[in-house]
Amino acid sequence: MADESLYLGLDLSTQQLKAIVISSTLKVVHEANVHFDSDLPGYGVKNGVHVNDREHEVFAPVAMWLEATDLVLQRLHDQGLDFGRVQGVSGAGQQHGSVYWGQHAEQLLQALDHGRTLKENLAENAFSHPNSPNWQDASTQTECDRFDEHLGGGDTLARVTGSKAHHRFTGPQILRFRKKYPEAYHATSHISLVSSFLASLFLGKIAPIDIGDVCGMNLWDIKTGAWNEELITLAAGPEGLTDLRQKLGDVEEDGGAALGNVAKYFVNRYGFDARCTVLPFTGDNPSTILALPLRQDDALVSLGTSTTFLMSTPKYSPDPSYHFMNHPTTAGLYMFMLCYKNGSRGREDVRSAINEVQGAAKTDDDWGLFDECLANSKPMQKHRTKTDGAEDAVKMGLYFPLPEIVPNVREGVWRYNYVPQTSSLRSIGESWRIPVDDARAIVESQIFSLRLRSQRLMATTQGQGPPQPRRVYITGGGSRNMMIAKMIGEILGGTEGVYQLDVGGSGCALGAAHKAVWGTERKAGETFEDLIGARWNEKGAISKVHEGYQAGLWEEYGAALPGFEQMENQVIHEDQELQRLKGTLKPP
């Protein structure tokens, strides 16, 4: 329909700002993006960030995001988008990052001059610090130790806030920021997450933090639904509780709430309808589960630069090895999340090594030989080794080109043989063909880790078959590899199978656009799942790529899972010993 209402969803991710415009009936009508490295080279970022290796800092310039916001809207305008039809705007942001507003922020946001760019309006005077710490930052080990200790251990912190302390979480980051930049901290009037920062621009005033994204801070008590004052005091210092509470502001509990109308700047500069509503912006992971009506017990695996595993569940069973967050739209549901730093990069390293030794004619980014290695090998590469005598051993490994989050260990590659019958684990001897055997081992290893950590949640799910997800949706670059899709079905299962979710360039931006439709058009009491579920056209968005659960094989993988856990524990133990020797870890 020519005058059907439109909705804008944005995703401010690490490497780009994406925008997607959909209709009330969820059809995508426009998409645009801005790549920070190539479109805004003046900031000198690589993969969207600056890195200070000496302090393990990773951060991005806020001015770059301001410039990207105007540019992405300009690109939508150039495509012919009639902004006057846009009735709702929502968005997603890379999780955990924080933006430090200065004393003039409110005033400058309210008076945005549409004759100048956002950067010209804000960059110089609206912030107390020019950069935002990125989720890849690993500079806060000391602060994380203090957060874990503060409530009596990582287990308690996970129970209260949904996660143990993590380098990237905003609470430890704020504590470090206060110590490293005391003057800037003092001059800070508000602290936004990346999501609420972007919402603030559209709103023309500081937007509240969202109920899903607030769980990525180690500061929010999930069960009581309030800031945890002990943790805020830790981040703020003994005298600073009230001050930091004010800096953080209130949290919007309704993911579909109307925060206000779009700021005049956008009406006058781009032609937005002055009645267009701004809704809460959430984190990129919570937003991704809104790209489809993800039912309870369905799992979504994103195989991108990082690997993430997301599930929507009513069961709150936190553990230090993973994350629980509030569901971004539906009270009483939680989002379970595993987030790995090492996703595609490790697979790419193995692929390049195989291409180098095996196929002189292959270009570096050709996956043919890697896939052949997967297709020509047996599950877990079962074999008999000389050392293992008559026992069947399986090959397994860990591949972390970057220090990993799950589990928290340094970078490295480890290869083992494991004998399920005797539970014996040996560092490899002669039986491995490196790098050929690494292809199956790395893919299995990444999926084993997902199964190991999600299995507890599956315990009560299905009426028939062993506990496993109902559907497994896969998305991201790696999901296009059909061998990987098959192995996901074989190891994780899925009573209804494995589905590739093809929602174009950005599931997060699409999820945000869905949220804008729901928040703006919902009737009283209508849930996100009901409204979006009724309008979603499954046929256009997903395709079944594997049957999922294979009786026998799933159990065989299950028998090797204790070996995988043993291998991880051994590597963690060795890593801690190493750190102790270097003097960076206290004795247990």
Residues forming the site for ligand XUL (CB under 6 A): 13-14, 94-96, 135, 168, 216, 283-285, 306, 308, 339
Distances (CA, A) of 560 to 299, 424, 445, 448, 512: 22, 11, 11, 9, 39
Smaller CB distance to ligand XUL: residue 14 or 131? 14
Residue 40 corresponds to which tokens in the numbers above? 């805004």
Smaller CB distance to ligand XUL: residue 109 or 175? 175
Q: How far apart are CA 318 and CA 155, in angstroms?
A: 8
Burial class (CB in 10 A: 0-12, 13-18, 19+), 98: buried
Q: Where would I find the H helices in 277-401?
A: 284-288, 344-358, 368-375
Q: How far is the CB of 208 from ligand XUL (least distance, A)?
A: 19
Smaller CB distance to ligand XUL: residue 196 or 520? 196
Q: How far is the CB of 224 from ligand XUL (least distance, A)?
A: 22
Q: How far is the CB of 135 from ligand XUL (least distance, A)?
A: 4
Q: How far is the CB of 131 from ligand XUL (least distance, A)?
A: 16
Q: Whose CA is closest to 262, among 272, 271, 251, 270?
A: 272
Burial class (CB in 10 A: 0-12, 13-18, 19+), 539: exposed
Instruction: Tabulate helix, strand, coil % of the chain (nearest 5).
Output: 40, 20, 35
- Going by the DSSP 8-state scheme, the letter that residue 523 receives in this structure is P
Q: How far apart are CA 475 and CA 507, in angstroms?
A: 8
Q: How far is the CB of 168 from ligand XUL (least distance, A)?
A: 5
Smaller CB distance to ligand XUL: residue 411 or 555? 411
Contact 148, 157 (CB under 8 A): yes
Contact 502, 551 (CB under 8 A): no
- Secondary structure of residue 390 in the 3-state scheme: coil
In sequence order, the 6+-apart residues with CB closer than 8 A to the CB of 436 are 354, 358, 373
Q: How far is the CB of 435 from ligand XUL (least distance, A)?
A: 28
Smaller CB distance to ligand XUL: residue 11 or 438? 11
Smaller CB distance to ligand XUL: residue 334 or 549? 334
Q: How far is the CB of 27 from ligand XUL (least distance, A)?
A: 27
Q: How far is the CB of 195 from ligand XUL (least distance, A)?
A: 10
Smaller CB distance to ligand XUL: residue 302 or 431? 302
Smaller CB distance to ligand XUL: residue 87 or 288? 288
Question: Which contacts (CB < 8 Å, 24+ apart) does range 178-183 have?
Answer: 178/235, 178/236, 178/237, 178/240, 181/129
Q: How far is the CB of 519 from ligand XUL (least distance, A)?
A: 22
Smaller CB distance to ligand XUL: residue 94 or 132? 94
Q: How far apart are CA 484 and CA 482, in angstroms?
A: 5
